[in-house]
A and B are shown apart, each in its own frame.
Chain A
Amino acid sequence: MDLFLHLCIMILIYIIFALSLNLELGYTGLFNFGHVAFFGMGAYASALFTLHHVPFELALLISLAIAGGGGFLLSLPSLRLRGDYFGIATLGFGEIIRIIFQNEVWLTKGPMGLPGISKPTLFSYRFTTLPQYFILALVFSILSFFILRMVIRSPFGRVLRAIREDEIATEALGKNVFRFRVKSFVTGSILAGLAGALWGHYTTFISPSDFTLSETILVLLIVVLGGKGTEWGPVLGAILLIFFQESLRFLRLPAEYTRYLAPLQQMIFGTLLILLMIFRPEGILREKGKTKNVGIETGQ
């Protein structure tokens, strides 16, 4: 039962993380290869503030602001770059943030990591046990899902998809493409920060090695496998991949084989990504021709 709850909590946290990337990658067409940076910023900020006795509610808000602010600052120069260069810039940013976690020892305790992160208290209710944390993660992921769905189905989301489809035509119709991209990127960063904060308070220990490129690859794979640019794709992808990843971890293998697990998992994920690109680039769920608009019937 505990194992099952643990699995569910991890899945819920990664659903939020994947949803946030889906807004950028799936709907806006932004190839963000440094998404883990915002997950990490959320985790570190919330952990550090609560460790310094700031109440969780406030610490969470601050960490979302930090992740969003980081996203805003990165977006200003990088979103002026074209597609692939944007990808490289975000990749570099992800590494920079990890190196900051590692080297700013006075703040982050460096490679030793931050132990003893408290379980959150929301409005004087403590989420300490697994079932309690499950509820917390569930509430936040449902909230994220519906907020993003509202955003995506709105005229704002329509502009994002248009930018993904043809940036020049969108610009020619009078939409400020740059500004829409910044908004999408900042929103995605804030949500990634939320996922990171929830994750930090769940594991109670974070260190720079939790926020490497392979995290970004995992969340990319979740979005691409599930179906980018679909509402349920990231949910499905997170369920499948996190289930797979976590069950590998709990396999009872003889001790001499366990050291092969991590590289093996990387190989499987890499192969999966390649196979997907070849055989089903649109993912398991694909975008449908009929899309609902905000509360109106398009049928006659």
Chain B
Amino acid sequence: MLELKQVNKSFGGIRAVSDCSLEIKSYRITGLIGPNGSGKTTLFNLMTGFLPLDHGEIFFKGKRIDGFLPHQIAEFGIVRTFQLARIFPKMTVLENMLLAPPRQIGEKLVSLWLKGKRIREEERKNLKKALTLIEIVGLSHLKNQFAANLSYGQQKLLELVRILMAEPQMILLDEPTAGINPSLIRKMMELILKMRDAGKVFFIIEHNMDVVIELCDWVFVLDNGQKIAEGKPEAIQNDPRVIEAYLGV
């Protein structure tokens, strides 16, 4: 589904990602682990067009996507969350959700004059979907609150369900469970599994190994910007190279 070939990125003297090649297959959840500063977030930024590549190529469903702008890559169907949740603080929870669907008729200035009825229908349809999703993560009672009034964990949940509104094919999550209490983590994992069963492909950066083992079908390990191992999560856990990278022995 998504393929990285010899991807490189340096910041000044730091080689954040070096010669990284990996392939993410459809219909599964792939994990990305590695010590702090190993280049995981940078890799996401490269894949979603937020940073330009120094070298290398990225393909999505056979089409080359490096060099495109972030909104174009989102249009292709790759949507991401951020390590520090990015919500729209002075918009309500519902407005945060309703923003996400792509190519809305009402986003065109001319259609406001000509297609009022279709815009209202579209809004109603999106609203229904949004209400269902925020119900799942338990934010219904906050739907008309500014997102700024949510706790950090709730903001991360909002960010997660918001990208589900964006009709993505592939979802990149940067540490979705960081800062979230265990009962909400459960809820979040259930939601991710449900979306996987609905055909979404996930690529997840995660430090919590329990979550990785339970969710992921395949794991890549990054250290110093290089892929040092890949495999099934149970196997990865006992890989000596991984243990070395994490413990620094």
Interface set of A (CB-CB < 8 Å, partner B): 150-151, 154-156, 158-159, 161-162, 165-166, 168-177, 183, 187, 229, 287, 289-291, 293-296, 298-300
Contacts and interface: CB of A to CB of B under 8 A. Distances in A.
A183 to B, nearest CB: 6
Q: Which of A150, A159, A172, A183 has the most CB of B within 10 A?
A: A172
Interface in B76-93: 79-80, 82, 86-92
Q: Which of A169, A170, A176, A290 has the most CB of B within 10 A?
A: A169
Contact of B98 (A158, A175, A300): A158
Contact of B95 (A150, A166, A173, A291): A291
15 contacts: A154-B112, A155-B119, A159-B99, A166-B89, A170-B88, A172-B71, A173-B163, A174-B71, A175-B71, A187-B109, A289-B144, A293-B95, A295-B120, A296-B123, A300-B131
Contact of A294 (B69, B119, B143): B119
Nearest to B145: A289
B112 A156 contact: yes
A156 B99 CA distance: 9
B170 interface: no
Nearest to B147: A165
Q: Which of A154, A170, A295 has the most CB of B within 10 A?
A: A154
A159 B107 contact: yes
Contacts of B79: 172-174
A176 B71 contact: yes
Interface in B37-89: 48, 50, 69-71, 74-75, 79-80, 82, 86-89
Interface string B156-198: 0000001100100000000000000000000000000000000
A287 B90 contact: yes
A143 to B, nearest CB: 13
Interface in B118-164: 119-120, 122-124, 127, 131, 143-146, 149, 162-163
Given A166-B89, A172-B50, 12 more contacts: A151-B109, A154-B112, A155-B99, A158-B95, A170-B88, A171-B70, A172-B71, A173-B166, A174-B71, A175-B107, A187-B109, A296-B123
Nearest to A169: B86
A171 B87 CA distance: 12
Contact of B143 (A159, A177, A295, A298): A298
A151 B146 CA distance: 21
Contacts of B145: 289
Nearest to B105: A155
A223 B74 CA distance: 35
Given A159-B99, A161-B91, A174 B75 contact: yes
Contacts of B102: 173-174
B120 A177 contact: no
Contact of A293 (B50, B71, B98): B98
A289 B131 CA distance: 17
A165 B127 contact: no
B77 to A, nearest CB: 9
B88 A151 contact: no
Contacts of A171: 69-71, 74
B106 interface: yes
A294 B106 contact: yes
Nearest to A176: B71
B100 interface: yes
B166 A289 contact: no
Contact of A162 (B91, B104, B112): B91
Nearest to A158: B99
Contacts of B95: 158, 161, 291, 293
